[in-house]
Amino acid sequence: MSEPRNPVSGRRVNSPVPAGHAGHSLHHEILTTQQIREVGRRRTDAEEKLAQHLREARHKSRDSGNPETPANP
């Protein structure tokens, strides 16, 4: 008896994903330079926003005197 196969790829249905392909699409979009810059800008903005939130949280924890929250993680 043969194993079930995907009619499109021909791979076994219950076979594990090959190393290096876990969680990634095999179809990648090619980004323009402008799009790559925009992604970089958004990432930088997100990192700065996270850093600001962390600073505010540390400041609040120091002001409240909460010993359970470390001042320097």
What are the boundaries of each domain within the chain?
32-61
pTM: 0.47
CB 15 within 8 A of CB 4: no
pLDDT of residue 5: 75
What are the tens digits of pLDDT across the range 9-65?
A: 777 666 555 555 555 566 678 899 999 999 999 999 999 999 999 999 999 888 887
Query: Helix or strand or coil: residue 12?
Result: strand
